[in-house]
Structure 1
Amino acid sequence: MTALENAAPAPAPTRAGAGARPPTLYAQLAEEVQAAGLMRRRVGWYVTTTAVVLAVTVGAWVAFVVLGDSWWTLAVAAVLAVTSAQFGFLGHDAAHRQVFASGTANAWAARVVAGACAGLSMGWWTSKHNRHHSGPNQVDRDPDIATGVLVFDPADAPNRTHPAARWFLDRQGWAFFPLLLLEGVQLHVAGVRDLLTRRDVPHRRLKLGIIVARLVGFLVAVAVVLPPGKAAAFVAVQLGLFGLLMGGAFAPNHKGMPIVPAGTRIDFLSRQVLMSRNIDGGRVTDVAMGGLNYQIEHHLFPSMPRPALRQAQPIVRRFCDEHGVRYTQTSLVGSYGIVVRYLNRVGLGERDPFTCPLVQQRRA
């Protein structure tokens, strides 16, 4: 299964009746959201959005050819980074079954849009993203907080004992966003490597062919039009900005939120709300972040179409306020500050900088 239909499985709404248990808080919220029609498919919106992004992409390539051997082509590289990120967000939506009612149609839409237009492998990303949705910020479940170049879990900080590693760890928050400039390369490499090494991936050769054709075609087009120096700069700008846009949209949503200890059991609504953070902003923020600024609503209802998330936000926030579930929302710049400070605090050795709210309640 390549689509994210099993990501963050949400309990179905239930009504209390004779001999039946009362509905959970999540079931009550889900009934309200369903009654508001917010789970209805918005195929027209997705078709229009995809067409607009595709038109901008084609226009950018036409401008690239017309400009030819010019440093102004770096502006085209920036535009292509933006459209590639938008294709990545559209692939994310399709993989979550937000576009069509058919799982198969969504899966193929994700493969084509993300693979042919952004050079991304949805198969590799899906497995990782499924685990993230099922246990956001939980030590033994969420791969997004696994220790790598950066350390997100304070418990892992003491394991960095080499002096150079300790020096970097103490300042890792400041390195976070510069490292995102490499995220575009990492996404391409990880996707291709996964398709080359895993033999059990459905339609593996087709997926690999689509992605390789896109990546090679991109590099050939740049090499044909630009001399080596400008070509290298063009690729660097496109990949660097693409990685920054993708990472900058995902990073504010959970980094610096409570880290859940391994093995902790939490009800679905609390798990998704307490570990997620929404980002303030208007329509520009919605577009720039691909709707991920409504992270709480997205985690509660992963198959909700993107344009409905804005409408769901006041409903979800009011419901959480009424039932005493902490709902976090801040500005984009503020969220980035939280991420940097959190990573630096982890590196400086604070062992419990953000305690899970449920753990705090139990201690009290």
Structure 2
Amino acid sequence: MKFEEKFEGTGSLVEKCQPYLDQIHQANGKPVANGKAEAYVRQEVNGKSNVFNKSLNTYTWEEIQRHNQEADQWLVIDRKVYNVTDWADKHPGGHRVLNHYAGEDATDAFRAMHLDLDIVKLYLKPLLIGELAPEEPSQERNKSPQLVADFQELHRTLKAMNMFSANMGFFFIHLAQILILEVLAWLILLHFGNGWTVTIFISFLLTVSQAQSSFLQHDVGHLSMFKKSKWNHLMQKFVMCHLKGLSANWWNYRHFQHHVKPNIYPKDPDIDVGPLFLLGDSQPVKYGKKKIKYIDYEKQHLYFYMVGLPLLMPIYFNLQSMQVMYLRKYWVDIAWVSSFYIRYFITFGPFYGIFGTVLLIFFVKFLESPWIGYVTQMSHIPMKMSGEENRDWLSTQVLATCNIEQSFFNDWFTGHLNFQIEHHLFPTMPRHNYHKVSPLVKSLCAKHGLQYVSKPMLKAFGDIVRALKKSAALWMDAYYE
């Protein structure tokens, strides 16, 4: 597959999907005429249409599980069966997210990833082809009905507690922090000039600003701040593209895949980092048995420090974002990202010149990179990695993530991603509520025998290296046997 085929646009769901509402299809394949498709779909949802009053086809799990290919994708939500094959390419979250759940029950993933279910459900009705047969369980037989029911009850409880409602003041304070750091760096440079000491100090301020922008963008990207998606869409462009200089569409598509199938090969792009690194238990053995040695993987924990941490942001993410924007023709993102560089050249160009400003941008991203690298990897690399095992949502997320102990500094330093378990279970929950729901999640895990892992931050940093060493040892055993 060509690189450019791997990424899809995301952005605002309403903006992206509106063109398709005008010619949305009924179950019998006949398009709706006269441009009133949205009203038609709402009519269907309200039960005013005769199309779905007829008896639905019924299917067994065995039949549904056969439709798990890219060219033939069925999935189940609340016991209803949907054929999403043709819709996948229009899906604002990217076609791969749907494909990752083809042939499976996607109920909890669907609820977790969408903030406004009323809007999203408008697009489900035309895709409806049937329902589970009455004798079939609501989930696949390998899943625990009680565990799934308990998690869904917890989700309903948290909604009743308004845990998915954002405190706008909290997020605007964080935005103000970022903007103040940016302005302060410019004022110091304006007052003291561009000496080495001043340059190092303003680089530090800009690094903090960039890291905190990453965390704020992460919040906005999960639609946790604004109920009106057009405002969220605009805010994400501002934070991700203008403040950070990266494509919002690229990040969304990549990150949503990570959330729906974390630490699962080959569905999670965050762990598909071969041939540079071999992660988990299975990938190193696979490479070893095939006698693959692109790099001396025995030393991968060392070049994680030398290459992985410092070059994640300035090289890997930066170049990938630019390549995807160009190949996928994300013109809006290109315009917004251009504003990031224009702002830097206007602000710092008079002091450092064009080449010096480019070096400043690279240096700031170089300093930010270990910060973001540690925060994003410490909760995943040491945890379970596997192929597709079709687990329930709770087990999938808890086995692949761990928490870092709470403190004021840890919360700020990680952008509250020290609560990765809660974040993965409830991606649209604003981060200031994670600590409130943590005891309930921990209790549910204990009830069902799932290990709820929480550790000190420094131990979590060290566990990354220990996990890389363990994977390297597995590769060596298989390679030299």
Scaled to the shorter chain, the TM-score interval is 0.7 to 0.9
Which residue of structure 1 aligns with residue 468 of structure 2? 343
Aligned partner of 2:385 among 259, 280, 286: 259
User: Shift of residue 57 of structure 1?
Assistant: 1.6
- The 2-side partners of 1:100 and 1:232 are apart by 34
- The 2-side partners of 1:192 and 1:252 are apart by 26
Which residue of structure 2 aligns with residue 207 of structure 1? 333
Residue 211 (structure 2) pairs with residue 82 (structure 1) = no
- The 2-side partners of 1:281 and 1:78 are apart by 25
TM-score by length of 1: 0.84
Distance change (3 Å), C-alpha of 1:162 and 1:264: closer
Which residue of structure 2 aligns with residue 139 of structure 1? 265
Aligned partner of 1:183 among 312, 315, 324: 312
User: Shift of residue 86 of structure 1?
Assistant: 0.9
Farther-moved stretch of structure 1 (73-82 vs 181-190): 181-190
User: Shift of residue 136 of structure 1?
Assistant: 0.5
Amino acid of the residue matched to residue 445 of structure 2? C
After superposition, residues 223-262 of structure 1 pair within 5 angstroms as 223-226=349-352, 234-261=360-387
Distance change (3 Å), C-alpha of 1:350 and 1:190: closer
Residue 398 (structure 2) pairs with residue 273 (structure 1) = yes
Kept after mapping to 1: 8 A contact 2:403/2:420: yes
Amino acid of the residue matched to residue 244 of structure 1? P
Distance change (3 Å), C-alpha of 1:155 and 1:260: closer
Alpha-carbon RMSD across the aligned residues, in angstroms, is 2.8
Farther-moved stretch of structure 1 (100-109 vs 174-183): 174-183
Q: Greater relative contact order: 1 or 2 (C-alpha under 8 angstroms, separation 6 or more)?
A: 1
Which residue of structure 2 aligns with residue 123 of structure 1? 249
Which residue of structure 2 aligns with residue 171 of structure 1? 299
- CA deviation map 1:180-219 (0-9, x unaligned): 21122122222222111103xxxx3232122123125425
- The 1-side partners of 2:346 and 2:386 are apart by 46
- The 2-side partners of 1:321 and 1:351 are apart by 36
TM-score by length of 2: 0.65
Which residue of structure 2 aligns with residue 193 of structure 1? 323
User: Shift of residue 153 of structure 1?
Assistant: 4.0
Distance change (3 Å), C-alpha of 1:28 and 1:351: farther
Amino acid of the residue matched to residue 192 of structure 1? M
Kept after mapping to 2: 8 A contact 1:152/1:343: yes
- The 2-side partners of 1:154 and 1:230 are apart by 44
- The 2-side partners of 1:273 and 1:246 are apart by 21
- CA deviation map 1:84-124 (0-9, x unaligned): 11112111111101101122221221111111111121111
Q: Aligned to 2:111, what secondary structure does the other structure show?
A: coil
Farther-moved stretch of structure 1 (216-225 vs 287-296): 216-225
Q: Which runs of 5+ in 1 are unaligned?
A: 14-18, 353-364
User: Shift of residue 232 of structure 1?
Assistant: 7.3
Q: Aligned to 1:37, what secondary structure does the other structure show?
A: coil
Which residue of structure 2 aligns with residue 49 of structure 1? 174
Kept after mapping to 1: 8 A contact 2:248/2:333: no
- CA deviation map 1:121-155 (0-9, x unaligned): 11111111111111110112111111242111443
Kept after mapping to 1: 8 A contact 2:345/2:354: no
Kept after mapping to 2: 8 A contact 1:280/1:329: yes
Q: Aligned to 1:258, what secondary structure does the other structure show?
A: coil
Residue 419 (structure 2) pairs with residue 291 (structure 1) = no
Q: Which runs of 5+ in 2 are unaligned?
A: 1-9, 14-91, 98-108, 118-134, 139-145
Amino acid of the residue matched to residue 427 of structure 2? P
After superposition, residues 320-335 of structure 1 pair within 5 angstroms as 320-335=445-460
Residue 205 (structure 2) pairs with residue 104 (structure 1) = no
Farther-moved stretch of structure 1 (134-143 vs 220-229): 220-229
Q: How many residues align?
A: 340
- CA deviation map 1:158-186 (0-9, x unaligned): 537576x453x101112223322112212
Which residue of structure 1 aligns with residue 11 of structure 2? 2
